[in-house]
Amino acid sequence: MGNSMKLRKVESIPETRSANKAIKRALGFIGRQKYNYRVSITRSAANNFLLNLTSQYDSIYTVELGANSVELGTINSIGNGISALISTPIGWLMDRYGLKQLYLVGMVLMAGSALVYGLAGSWQTIIAAIILFSISTSFIGTGCSVICADSVQNKDRATAQNICVTVASLLGMLAPLVAARLVTAFGGLNVDGIRPLYLFRFVGYLFIFLFLTTQLRDLKPTIEAETRTGIGFVEDFKQLFVVKGPLKRWLIIASLTWFPMAMTTPFLQLFAHQVKGANQYLLGVMATATVLMRILFGIPLGRLADKIGRKKVIYLLAPLWYASNLLLVYSFNSVTLILAGALQTFYFISSGVTNAITLELVPVKQMGKWSGLVGLFRGLVTIPAPILGGLIWDHLNPVYVFLIPIGVDFLLKLPLLTTIPETLGGDKKPETD
């Protein structure tokens, strides 16, 4: 017994040292980047906690307010459509007028969305909340892309993306469990039980706004944006379609990346609750498992993508996400549901690697515009996805909501990805004119 205990202690030392080394390496990486990158990570961490308070209940809350599956899908499609319409002008504005003011506008709109959610008296009111949220995430998402492009070298991009996600997830991991306790205290999985969570989010966003007001450093407009003042918005974006190289194909691939999420996300928690019988605690554990796996694997997989290539890691992660959907559909107990939730994280990690490719294919001076253009194409692809999911749920079978996206990813996105050159290797951008 004594020898066994000693052995286990000896064996644990390298593991502890390895973990400490990984933490020090991550902290050192963050410390080497520009100040705005560190501010962005802090904002993401707080924002992640607030979002994870409610994300597993959004669909259930909307249904409890009276929406059916098609109406739920339509609400999400409206959000995607709004994102598509405004993402391009937002990118253009950030290139021309700087970052900070537009970033703060995004936070105000996000706070407004949480407040509308919290005060909603019918499912129709959720439409306004979704519109505000979609506009806000377009502002903030484009702002984060600009900050990352300005702060991090190409060779570290995938690592930077996943460090940001991983650090942000540390707080987010606690949120679903806290939310489950609060929902229970306020009345369970119904409108009254879920509503206070959105009001907590609203207050939290006000604090984030104050933090950004004092800490975020503005980025001046790019030289290109300052000198090309005679070019209008429409003409400015017409020039993006005459680029050479793989950028045009990448627009399609990056857009298709978001189709599965747009189709499945509105219905994932609803399926677990209505079809598989998950209560608020099991939903909370599923969400926490997703976040925990992101914490454990986000940084290592980001570093792997920086070492062996972005495309290889995307191919590696795709089957894990397929397994997540299959486990959800064919789950027979709480353990398989939790495992399905855990494997969902590999979709989000893969999306981070995808974002790194975008940052590397696009010239820095056109980052805002191209981020907006990717958002436009993404919106066009994802507008019909939630409605399609609702129609399939009501008129075919809910399981196909999670099976069809696997086919889209395997038969369309992955084959198209083979046509894009590996972006790993230095900071040289592909030719774009």
Tokens of 18: 């390895």
Half-sphere exposure of 112 (CA within 13 A, CB side): 17
What's 295's domain CATH number? 1.20.1250.20
Averaged pLDDT for residues 395-406: 91
Q: Is the pLDDT of residue 213 over 60?
A: yes
The domain in which residue 301 lies consists of 36-221+242-417
Residue 297 lies in a domain: yes
Residues 6+ away with beta carbon under 8 Å from 427: 153, 154, 155
- Which pLDDT belongs to residue 126? 94
- Which pLDDT belongs to residue 169? 72
Residue 157 lies in a domain: yes
What's the number of domains the chain is made of? 1
Residue 103 lies in a domain: yes
Distances, alpha carbon 69 to alpha carbons 76, 117, 122, 153, 382, in Å: 11, 18, 15, 44, 17
With cut-offs at 50, 70 and 90, classify the pLDDT of residue 28: low
Query: Would you say 49 and 280 are in contact if contact means Cβ atoms under 8 Å apart?
Result: no
Residue 264 lies in a domain: yes
Closest to 265 measured CA to CA, from 356, 347, 184, 371: 347
Residue 1 lies in a domain: no
Decide which of 259 and 427 is more confident: 259
Residues 6+ away with beta carbon under 8 Å from 340: 286, 324, 325, 327, 328, 331
Tokens of 8: 């286990």
CB neighbours (10 Å) of residue 360?
Answer: 22
DSSP string, 279-316: -HHHHHHHHHHHHHHHHHHHHHHHHHHHHH-HHHHHHH
Averaged pLDDT for residues 198-204: 94
- Which pLDDT belongs to residue 41? 77
With cut-offs at 50, 70 and 90, classify the pLDDT of residue 139: confident
- Write down the mean pLDDT value for the chain: 77
* Lowest mean per-residue pLDDT among 33-42, 86-95, 263-272, 295-304: 86-95
With cut-offs at 50, 70 and 90, classify the pLDDT of residue 263: confident
Residue 112 lies in a domain: yes
- Does this model's pTM top 0.85? My answer is no
Cα(376)–Cα(372) distance, integer angstroms: 6
Residue 235 lies in a domain: no
Residue 234 lies in a domain: no
- Which pLDDT belongs to residue 431? 42
